[in-house]
Amino acid sequence: MNDDEFLFAEDDDEVEQTDISFWKVLIVDDEPEVHAITKLALNDFALNGRSLTFISAFNGEEAKRILRENDDIAVVLLDVVMETDDAGLKVADYIRNSLDNHFTRIILRTGQPGQAPEKDIIINYDINDYKSKTELTAQKLFTVIIAALRSYRDIIVIEEARAGLEKIIDASADLFSTRSLEGFMRGLIQQLASILGGAKNAAYITSAVAMSKPVSQSSDMIIFAGNGDYAGKEGFRLKDSLSEFEYELCKEALKQKQVVYAEEHLVAFCRSDRNHGSLLFLTGLPRPVNDIDKRLVQKFTDNVQLAFDHLLESREISDTHQEIVQRLGDALDTRQTDDNHGQRLYEMSELFARLVHLPEPEIQQFLTAIPLHNVGNSFVPYSLLNKETSLTDDEYHQILKHAEFGYKIFKGSKRPVIRLAAQLARHHHERWDGKGYPDGLVGTDISLQSRMLAILDAYDALRNKRSYKPAWPLQKTIDTLSEAAGHHFDPGLVDLFLKHIDQFESVQRKFADQ
């Protein structure tokens, strides 16, 4: 191999280079010597502790393929004239419009600067810089690249901050649900990543917290919410999820009760007045942490645990409220049912509500009202509700009154949950064909929640033992519900319910009669 062949030879593994300590630069030019000279001129370049890794494309189509496969290219050095006179402009248009990529910085290089007006090209193709090849000396190329990379870096940091704020805003719409609490914390840790110049290169983030007891040892801790490599590891023990080196850093942060930095790692201890101390753990930081970063991280950790504690407190209040309602509902429903009937009905109601895509606020109202639908039974003699032999006509009509009794308890309230409880109490025995009681409502005149409850109540009663019957097998239950569709029950809801019968059966097994 002669000297020229060595100079212009391409690195076999350059496209596969994905180390976070590199900025990716795509060179698009049909002249091999341009690639070699560019690499030589920028050989010792570094910004924020990161050097350059080069990817080469020798025509427009090859450049488009590489751009599709690499969404983290920082700068494109783009020739205008290649296989066609406007090949480079087509690549620029592809980046901005087809890929909708407005982050990558595009520097147009041309050997024929007079061919198209510079002003028109920069405006029409969203070009960040336009240079003649003859004016790009090694020093000017260095200056152009450093300006482009700084711009790219700042844009990515802003985008990561936007994404983090968006997660927090989305979660804040419903802070009392399990999903939103995890979502809120993911947004917070993504915000911390962006503070540290993060984005994708600092996306390996986890928040580890002790949920129900004071944090005294690292072995107490679990991953509560995670991004990047830690997404999907929620609930895992911290010790089982990190390398030995990373785990030791967490132990050190917990011991010192402060922020610990090491190489590309950061572990921040978050203090708590309620003894729910936690750690914010990041790895894959793109640059060394400076004094400004340290002050920002300290300020962040001083406040993040306060927000989390308040959310946990809100969840505890909500869960306590729900349990009180559940227990009161069970106490007032004087039928002989197993201890887990209420829990099964609650779990199945949430599952059914999500299958029909009820809005989240309506789901929460439905779940709060569900345990109260049979409180009218408290006005019916215990002996009738649990009679093992056939009822007389007079006894049957006494039992029918439980719907109106329950309605009278809740009617007149201005609160949506209580109004829904009144509606469920009165209408959970209405039928699709209008032959139900007490109002003889037909079809969709019956509220959706009442129609859902009718199916769930019947299914649970059939699948479990009652004073007047043994538990039915699954197939007999399915056949009975199918036959009742269009008569007793909403046929569309029955179809949806039976399509997902395995999920409802899972609830039955989880909370089986003891």
Phi-psi region of 330 (alpha: psi -120 to 50; beta: other; left: phi over 0): alpha
Q: What are the extents of the domains in the chain? A: 3-154, 174-307, 333-510
Share of the chain above pLDDT 70, in %: 68
pLDDT the model gives residue 17: 37
Q: How high does pLDDT run on average in the chain? A: 78
pLDDT the model gives residue 386: 57
Residue 406 confidence (pLDDT) above 80: no
Angle at CA of residue 486, ends 369 and 385, nearest 5° = 50
Q: How many Cβ atoms are within 10 Å of 192's Cβ, its own excluded?
A: 22
The answer to whether the bond into 438 is cis (omega within 30° of 0) is: yes
CA distance 489 to 446: 11
CA distance 471 to 509: 13
Rounded to the nearest 5°, which phi and psi values hold at 225? -150, 140
The tokens 């708590």 sit on which residue?
Answer: 272
Residue 15 confidence (pLDDT) above 80: no
The tokens 């969709």 sit on which residue?
Answer: 444
Highest mean pLDDT among 25-39, 150-164, 459-473: 25-39
Average pLDDT over residues 317-330: 66
Pairing of strands 73-79, 22-28: parallel
Residue 182 confidence (pLDDT) above 80: no
Q: Which of helix, strand or coil describes residue 268?
A: strand
Pairing of strands 105-110, 129-132: parallel
Element (H, E) at 93: helix 87-93
CATH number of 3-154: 3.40.50.2300
- Per CATH, the architecture of 174-307 is what? 2-Layer Sandwich (3.30)
Q: Who wins on pLDDT, 306 or 422?
A: 422
Residue 18 confidence (pLDDT) above 50: no
Per-residue pLDDT of 263-317, as tens digits, reads: 778 887 877 666 556 777 777 777 677 666 777 777 777 776 666 667 666 666 6
pLDDT the model gives residue 19: 42
CA distance 99 to 71: 9
For residue 320, name the pLDDT band (cuts at 50, 70, 90): low
pLDDT the model gives residue 2: 40
Per-residue pLDDT of 94-104, as tens digits, reads: 999 999 999 99
255-264, 309-318, 415-424: the lowest-pLDDT one: 309-318
pLDDT the model gives residue 156: 84
CB-facing half-sphere around the CA of 467: CA atoms within 13 A: 14
For residue 259, name the pLDDT band (cuts at 50, 70, 90): confident
pLDDT the model gives residue 115: 54
344, with CB counted inside 10 A (0-12, 13-18, 19+), is: buried
Average pLDDT over residues 173-192: 60
Q: Which of helix, strand or coil describes residue 283?
A: strand
Pairing of strands 46-47, 22-28: unpaired
Amino acid letter, 95: I
The tokens 């751009």 sit on which residue?
Answer: 67
Per-residue pLDDT of 369-402, as tens digits, reads: 888 887 766 656 655 555 566 766 666 566 667 7
Angle at CA of residue 137, ends 135 and 143, nearest 5° = 100
73, with CB counted inside 10 A (0-12, 13-18, 19+), is: buried
Beta-sheet strand order (sheet of 278-283): 222-227, 204-209, 278-283, 265-270, 259-262
Q: Which of helix, strand or coil describes residue 293?
A: helix
CATH superfamily of 333-510: Hypothetical protein af1432 (1.10.3210.10)
